[in-house]
């Protein structure tokens, strides 16, 4: 499944870029170049989503849940 988010890149005073995802609080990274910041942010976001998914399912009897994909228009 592919999800899209809004990445924001800001030049850092000490050089490089600070990056964050507007829709996901805490999804923050950095890099020396824009490309490095972009790749680091993708990795950080993927890890955050994986951990959040695992935490959300902790203690849930998955044999009793209904899963479906939802789409939200912005």
Q: How confident is the model at residue 2 (pLDDT cuts 50, 70, 90)?
A: confident
Query: Which residues constitute the domain of residue 18?
Result: 7-64
Element (H, E) at 20: strand 17-21
| Residue 37 belongs to a domain | yes
DSSP 8-state secondary structure symbol assigned to residue 63? G
70 pLDDT higher than 90: no
Considering the domain boundaries, does residue 70 fall inside one?
A: no
The values of phi and psi at residue 71, to 5°, are -120, 140
Residue at 74 is within a domain:
no
Total domain count, the chain = 1
Decide if 73 is inside a domain. no
Residue 49 in any domain: the answer is yes
Please check whether residue 1 lies inside any domain of the structure.
no
Taking only the tens place, the pLDDT of each residue in 8-51 is: 999 999 999 999 999 999 999 999 999 999 999 999 999 999 99
74 has pLDDT over 80: no
- pLDDT the model gives residue 13: 96
């Amino acid at each position: 499944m592919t999800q899209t988010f809004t990445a924001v890149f800001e030049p850092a005073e000490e050089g490089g870029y600070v990056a964050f995802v507007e829709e996901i609080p805490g999804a923050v990274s950095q890099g020396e170049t824009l490309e490095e910041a972009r790749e680091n942010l993708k990795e950080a976001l993927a890890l955050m989503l994986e951990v959040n998914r695992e935490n959300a399912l902790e203690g849930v009897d998955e044999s009793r849940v209904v899963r479906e994909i939802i789409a939200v228009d912005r």
